[in-house]
C-alpha cells in the first residue's frame, strides 16, 4: 500500500508530540506537514517544540519546517488535529472542505449529529456517519472526533459491562494527569502537594460523551444510550494516565457478581473491523487482580498505551459494582485514539 500523506495541526503541543512519536514508522501513514501557531511557524520543528516525551524526538520531524495551520499551506489526505477548541472550530471545517479527513481531539464538533464520536473498539460502526456528513455539508473531506481523555477508558469498560449486564447508572470520580492540561499546563505551585477538584467543562463531557458512544446508530442518527451519569473530575500530580473510580448500577444486577464482571471485561474484543488495525489495543481491556492496581506509573503503557486497564472489581453497597479504570490520556485518550480512528476510516474505504 502506498503511504497515505498525513499532517499534524498543533504539532508542538502535548498531544501533537504524541502524534509525532506514534506516527514514526507507521505502516500506512507518512507525515508530510506539521503546523502550529504563529509562534512556531517558519522554525524547524526541533527548535519550535519543547519536547517533553521520554522517547527521543523522531529524526523525521527534526528538520521539518512548521507551517501555518491552513489548507493552503498544509496539504494531506488525513489531518490530525491537536488544536484547542476555539481554533479547531474555525480551522477543521476548512480542511474538510478542502477534501481532508480531519481526525480531531478537540471537542468543538463532538456533539454534532453527523460527526462520529469514535472509539473503534466500542462503536466502530458510527464511522458510517461520515457518509451523511459529506451529503449534508457538501464537502469531500470529513471530521471524525475522539472523546475526552477521561471518557475514553471509562466508556471502553462500560461497553463490555453494558453488553453483558445493561448499565443503567454510573458514578465516576477521576484523577487526571497533568499532561491532560497541555503544555505548560497547570502551574507547578498550584499542583505540587495538591489536588485540584475542578477541571473546567470536564464533568459535562464525562456525563454525555459515553451516552453518544454507547448509543445505537439508527436511520443515520445516534440514539443515545439511556444511562444516568454523575461525574467528579480532579487534577492530580501525575504526569500521564487518567485514573477513574467508577460505581455502576446494572439492569441484570442478579447475574453481575465481581467474578463474572471480570470475566466479561477480560473476554471483551473490539468489533472485527477494528480488531486488527495497526493501532488496535492488544488486548482491548486488561484486568488486574492485585488489590492495588491499576496505577498510572505502572500500568499506563499496557498494550503500548492503547489498552484500557481495569482493576479492583467488587460489589458496591449503593449501586451494584465498583472498579477502577486507567487509560493513557495522550495515547489512547488522544493521539493514539485519533490514529486508530483514521485507520478505521481507511479500512472501511471511507477516506
Ligand atoms: N492533553 C490531553 O491529554 C488531551 C486529551 C484529549 C484531547 N485533548 C485536546 O487536544 C487538543 C490539544 O491539547 P494539548 O494538550 O496538546 O494542548 P497544548 O499542549 O496547549 O498544544 C496546543 C497546540 O496548538 C497550537 N496552536 C495554538 N494556537 C494556534 C493557532 N492559532 N493556530 C494553530 N496552532 C495553534 C500550539 O502551537 P504553538 O506551540 O506554536 O503555540 C500547540 O502546538 C485540545 O483541544 C485538547 O482539549 C487533549
Does the active-site annotation cover 126? no
pLDDT digits (tens, 9 = 90+) for 311-346: 999 999 999 999 999 999 999 999 999 999 999 999
Q: What is the pLDDT of residue 266?
A: 98
Whether 309 and 258 have beta carbons less than 8 Å apart is answered as no
Mean pLDDT of the chain: 97
CA of 85 to the centre of ligand 1 (A): 9
Q: What is the pLDDT of residue 76?
A: 98
pLDDT digits (tens, 9 = 90+) for 14-29: 999 999 999 999 999 9
CA of 136 to the centre of ligand 1 (A): 29
Of 103, 142, 242, 328, catalytic: 242
Decide: 20 in ligand 1 pocket, CB within 6 A: no
Please give the C-alpha separations between residue 343 and each of 144, 288, 339, in angstroms, as whole numbers.
12, 29, 6
Decide: 106 in ligand 1 pocket, CB within 6 A: yes
Give phi and psi for 81, each to the nearest 5: -110, 120
CA of 281 to the centre of ligand 1 (A): 24
Decide: 84 in ligand 1 pocket, CB within 6 A: yes
Whether 119 and 156 have beta carbons less than 8 Å apart is answered as yes
The atom of ligand 1 lying closest to the CA of 15 is 16
Decide: 12 in ligand 1 pocket, CB within 6 A: yes
Name the residue with the closest Cα to ligand 1, atom 30.
Answer: 37
Query: Is 16 strand, coil or helix?
Result: helix
Name the β-bridge partners of 68: 36
Q: Which three cell numbers stand for residue 110?
A: 463532538
Confidence (pTM)? 0.97
- Using alpha carbons only, how large is the chain's radius of gyration in Å? 19
For the chain, what are the domain ranges? 4-148+335-347, 149-328
CA-based torsion, 130, 135, 136, 142: positive or negative: positive
- b/e 89-98 (16+ beta carbons within 10 angstroms → b): eebbbbbbeb
- Which of 95, 233, 242, 255 has its CA nearest to residue 165? 255
- Which of 117, 78, 109, 77 has its CA nearest to residue 93? 109
- b/e 115-134 (16+ beta carbons within 10 angstroms → b): bbbbbbbbbbbbbebbeebb
Ligand 1 pocket, mutate which of 33, 37, 240 (most atoms under 8 A from CB): 37
Q: What is the pLDDT of residue 42?
A: 98
pLDDT digits (tens, 9 = 90+) for 127-146: 999 999 999 999 999 999 99
The pLDDT of residue 243 is above 90: yes
Q: Which three cell numbers stand for residue 19?
A: 502524534
Decide: 81 in ligand 1 pocket, CB within 6 A: no
Decide: 253 in ligand 1 pocket, CB within 6 A: no
- Which of 117, 13, 130 has its CA nearest to residue 337? 117
CA of 350 to the centre of ligand 1 (A): 27
Decide: 151 in ligand 1 pocket, CB within 6 A: no
Q: What is the pLDDT of residue 255?
A: 85
Q: What is the pLDDT of residue 9?
A: 98
pLDDT band at 45 (very low <50, low <70, confident <90, very high): very high
Decide: 155 in ligand 1 pocket, CB within 6 A: no
CA of 278 to the centre of ligand 1 (A): 25
Could you check whether 4-148+335-347 and 149-328 share the same CATH topology? no
Q: Between vectors from CA 108 to CA 105 and to CA 113, what angle results, nearest 5°?
A: 105
Decide: 150 in ligand 1 pocket, CB within 6 A: no
Distance CA 47, CA 43 (A): 6
pLDDT digits (tens, 9 = 90+) for 93-109: 999 999 999 999 999 99
Whether 210 and 199 have beta carbons less than 8 Å apart is answered as no
Give alpha helix (H) positions in 233-348.
258-267, 296-299, 336-347
Does the domain formed by 4-148+335-347 have CATH 3.40.50.720?
A: yes
- Which of 61, 108, 66, 113 has its CA nearest to residue 83? 108
Name the residue with the closest Cα to ligand 1, atom 14.
Answer: 182
The CATH class of the 149-328 domain is alpha beta
pLDDT digits (tens, 9 = 90+) for 264-317: 999 999 999 999 999 999 999 999 999 999 999 999 999 999 999 999 999 999
pLDDT band at 204 (very low <50, low <70, confident <90, very high): very high
Whether 53 and 18 have beta carbons less than 8 Å apart is answered as yes
Does the active-site annotation cover 103? no
Q: How far is CA 85 from the centre of its chain?
A: 15
In the chain, the N- to C-terminal Cα span, in Å, equals 14
CA of 68 to the centre of ligand 1 (A): 14
Please give the C-alpha separations between residue 313 and each of 157, 159, 162, 203, 323, in angstroms, as whole numbers.
11, 15, 15, 23, 4
Amino acid at each position: 500500500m502506498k503511504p497515505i500523506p498525513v499532517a499534524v495541526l498543533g504539532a508542538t503541543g502535548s498531544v501533537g508530540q504524541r502524534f509525532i512519536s506514534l506516527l514514526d514508522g507507521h505502516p500506512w501513514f507518512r507525515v508530510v506537514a506539521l503546523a502550529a501557531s504563529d509562534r512556531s511557524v517558519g522554525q524547524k520543528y526541533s527548535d519550535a517544540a519543547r519536547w517533553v516525551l521520554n522517547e527521543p524526538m523522531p529524526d523525521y520531524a527534526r528538520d521539518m519546517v512548521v507551517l501555518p495551520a491552513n489548507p493552503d499551506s498544509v496539504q494531506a489526505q488525513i489531518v490530525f488535529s491537536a488544536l484547542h477548541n476555539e481554533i479547531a472550530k474555525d480551522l477543521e471545517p476548512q480542511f474538510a472542505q478542502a477534501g481532508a479527513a480531519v481526525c480531531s481531539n478537540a471537542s468543538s464538533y463532538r456533539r454534532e449529529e453527523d460527526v462520529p464520536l469514535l472509539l473503534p473498539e466500542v462503536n466502530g460502526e458510527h464511522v458510517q456517519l461520515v457518509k451523511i456528513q459529506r451529503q449534508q455539508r457538501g464537502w469531500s473531506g470529513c471530521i471524525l472526533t475522539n472523546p475526552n481523555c477521561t471518557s475514553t477508558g471509562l466508556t471502553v469498560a462500560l461497553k463490555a459491562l453494558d453488553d453483558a449486564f445493561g448499565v443503567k447508572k454510573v458514578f465516576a470520580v477521576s484523577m487526571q494527569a497533568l499532561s491532560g492540561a497541555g503544555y505548560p499546563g497547570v502551574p507547578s505551585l498550584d499542583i505540587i502537594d495538591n489536588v485540584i477538584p475542578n477541571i473546567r467543562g470536564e464533568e459535562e463531557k464525562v456525563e454525555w460523551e459515553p451516552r453518544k458512544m454507547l448509543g445505537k446508530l439508527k436511520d443515520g442518527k445516534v440514539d443515545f444510550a439511556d444511562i444516568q451519569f454523575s461525574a467528579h473530575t480532579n487534577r492530580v500530580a501525575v504526569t500521564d494516565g487518567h485514573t477513574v473510580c467508577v460505581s455502576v448500577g446494572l439492569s441484570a444486577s442478579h447475574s453481575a457478581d465481581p467474578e463474572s464482571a471480570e470475566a466479561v471485561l477480560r473476554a471483551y474484543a473490539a468489533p472485527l473491523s477494528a480488531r486488527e488495525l495497526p493501532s488496535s489495543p492488544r488486548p482491548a481491556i486488561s484486568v488486574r487482580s492485585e488489590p492495588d492496581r491499576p496505577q498510572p506509573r505502572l500500568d499506563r503503557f499496557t498494550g503500548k498505551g492503547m489498552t484500557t486497564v481495569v482493576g479492583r472489581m467488587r460489589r458496591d453497597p449503593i449501586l451494584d459494582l465498583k472498579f477502577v479504570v486507567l487509560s493513557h490520556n495522550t495515547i489512547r485518550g488522544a493521539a493514539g485514539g485519533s490514529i486508530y480512528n483514521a485507520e478505521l476510516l481507511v479500512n472501511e474505504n471511507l477516506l
